[in-house]
Structure 1
């Protein structure tokens, strides 16, 4: 059997304190039972790192990007893109504002690339941990 070549992929773990303050709540998704891979499994949002996740224009729109090399930024952008595509959760805000602006982007699914598609002005940075934590 030929060796399996790993493909770049990323996952996002969204955590918050439980309302009772007794621990953490973890956000997971239930995979569609009709899909071929991991059908019906509980999974963290994430997936394949795409070439567009490393587009040079994204760096200026990501908070904390100066502290990241190109690969680190590409993996973080991929995680945020996958989170949005799979769950509708967008970790972004307008530059200079503390308020999320999901209502302003309407039907834009991807975080960029064509000049006329628009870009978030700031994407929340992820913190390295045991992987990356939002």
Structure 2
């Protein structure tokens, strides 16, 4: 009789463990899919909420062409800063990065009058345009 009770208790325990494992395995992929979908839709929509969550000081804007902007470093960063400041005396540079919308580089600046602008540069570090205001400043 004790043997029957032991077998029944063991079967119950195994059933409970398997049932809990199936529940956990079923719940994890569903949760992962939800997170992936949410992240993808937020990034694709370009909403103000996704803009606010992004740390502008680290770059990372993705253009319509799929190019992701990244902060510049070293000699390239120094040349972009110098060209942007030469074209905008009294300005301060917030960040410099590659450009996702057609130019080679861009410098996000605050002009001497306090307005924000983006200075666009070509591969030779020549200023090609200056955009005042807009997102990402």
| TM-score category of the 2 structures, normalised to the smaller one | under 0.3
Query: If you compute each CA radius of gyration, which structure gives the higher value, 1 or 2?
Result: 2
Larger helix percent: 2
Q: Relative contact order (alpha carbons < 8 A, sep ≥ 6): 1 or 2 greater?
A: 1
Q: TM-score, normalised by structure 1?
A: 0.23
